[in-house]
Structure 1
Amino acid sequence: MSKTRRIRGGVVEQSHGLLIILSGPSGAGKGTLCQELLRQLPDLKYSVSMTTRNSRPGEIDGIHYFFRQKEEFEALIERDELLEWAQFCDNYYGTPRFAVEQAIQAGQDVILEIEIQGALQVKKRFPQGVFTFIVPPSMDALSERIHKRGTESEEVIQKRLATAIHELEYVSEYDYVVVNDEVPEAVDKLKSILVAEKCRVKRKPFVFEGGI
């Protein structure tokens, strides 16, 4: 069912919610920004991704990720039950399709925090999404953030940093870029992007009653 809202002189029909995609290099702070955005915008729905990597300390299955075995994930790929999927550092990551599509069709805004490979797949299937690229203030800052995690070997960290340099080349594929230096400022920019997108004429078909 589509959402409708009356205004002076007519009706604004919003048939679908927004699909907001946050992606960028590992360590850029996508997860932190996403969590703060969800805290400040309680009506925003978070799409839980699926992965074959091991859970990190404090991560809970079904809340942070759906943790699945490789064979199970590959079966979902074969059945085309993922909106997108990617392989990164020998692990699969992906987004279950049904819940996302159902929420958007019901007029609910949905946010995806996904890797760049996955975001580009979503863009092909859902080009009307809001694609935002999150970048760190510098490569030194990115290296420091990844090291502070303390969850990966130095070899994996160096692989992530090398991958990040390559991934920065994809920024032109996105609608917006946000530098995540200070979290409050970055979140304010994301909120402004959402407001602007909801005001775009192509997203707000007007049906006037009785003329203007």
Structure 2
Amino acid sequence: MNETRRGVLIVVSGPSGVGKSTLIDRFLNEDTESRFSVSYTTRQVRPHERDGVDYYFTDERNFRELIEKGYFLEWENVHGNFYGTPRAEIMSVLEKGKDIILDIDVKGALSIKGQCSAARLIFIEPPSVAELEKRLTLRGERDIQTRMRRVQEEIALKGQFGYTVRNDDLERAYAAFRKAIEEIRRKKNGTNNC
């Protein structure tokens, strides 16, 4: 019997500034079986970002049209900006037998978990709330108080994730992140259910 490998939907989430992108980028540079899901957003492009690579940047009018068409697997309004995960792109990668990694907010991750029983969730947590506040301040984020309230709400939901990685030391966090993905691959149930 020749079974075609089915990809795994891996959702990485956690508070803003916790280091999700750093862990994901490193993993994708070392792994040939995974792809990154490029989300849509209405937020402004940051200096180092490229359209179609980091995000698909669009305006709110176009984003709302895509919502109406059912284009997104999930979408959220985060800090006044819309973010959405394109359904067709996810399914295409999974059907080709590749794993797909999403970097999305906690509410979006739980929404996907509700729609896709085969999705596997990894929560990246900060070493402490104080350290995360320091990181966000250094990164130049605005409205730190609002973001920190959201951090508390998101950390309270980490128990709904299958895996938690504490990012207090990059090498240790990366080893735990990689181990979680390897375990997810070993345990996958062979169905996408999305």
TM-score scaled by length of structure 2: 0.93
How many pairs were matched up?
Answer: 191
Identity %: 36
Q: Helix, strand or coil for the counterpart of 2:3?
A: strand
Note the alpha carbon deviations across 1:45-83, whole angstroms, 9 max, x for none.
011111101011111111111111001001111111101
Q: What SS class does the counterpart of residue 152 from structure 2 fall into?
A: helix
Q: Does the CA-based 8 Å contact 2:8-2:188 persist in structure 1?
A: no
The equivalent of 1:48 in structure 2 is 38
2:70 counterpart residue number: 80
The whole-number CA distance in structure 1 between the counterparts of 2:77 and 2:176 is: 30
1:196 shift after superposition? 1.5
Question: After superposition, where does 1:55-134 map in structure 2 within 5 Å?
Answer: 55-134=45-124
Question: What RMSD over aligned residues (CA atoms) do the two structures have, in Å?
Answer: 1.6
CA distance in 2, matches of 1:36, 1:90: 29
What is the distance in 1 between the residues matched to 2:164 and 2:68? 33
State how far apart, in whole Å, the 1-side matches of 2:96 and 2:21 are: 25
Rate the CA distance shift 1:159–1:129 in 2: closer, same or farther, 3 A: same
| C-alpha distance in 2 between matches for 1:14 and 1:181 | 38
Task: Give distance in 1, aligned partners of 2:159 and 2:126.
Answer: 16
Aligned to 1:158: 145
- Which protein has the larger Cα radius of gyration, Structure 1 or Structure 2? 1
CA contact (8 A) 1:14 1:203 kept: no
| Structure 1 runs, 4 residues or longer, greater than 6 Å off | none
Does structure 1 conserve the Cα–Cα contact (< 8 Å) formed by 2:165 and 2:176? yes
Could you tell me which of 122, 135, 138 is aligned with 1:148? 138
Deviations 1:166-209 (A, max 9, x none): 111111211011001112221211221122222227449xxxxx
Go from structure 1 to structure 2 and tell me whether the alpha carbon gap of 1:14 and 1:134 turns closer, same or farther (over 3 Å shift).
farther
> What SS does structure 1 have at the residue aligned with 2:114?
helix
Q: Which runs of 5+ in 2 are unaligned?
A: none
Unaligned residue ranges in structure 1 (runs of 5+): 1-10, 205-212
Q: 1:196 aligns with which of 179, 183, 188?
A: 183
The residue type equivalent to 1:126 in the other structure is C
Query: Quick check: 112-121 or 191-200, which moved more?
Result: 191-200
2:156 maps to 169
- Tell me how far apart the structure 1 counterparts of residues 92 and 122 of structure 2 sit (CA, whole Å): 22
Could you state the TM-score of these two structures normalised by the residue count of structure 1?
0.85
Q: Report the more deviating stretch, 191-200 or 137-146.
A: 191-200
Distance of 1:199 and 1:188 partners within structure 2: 17
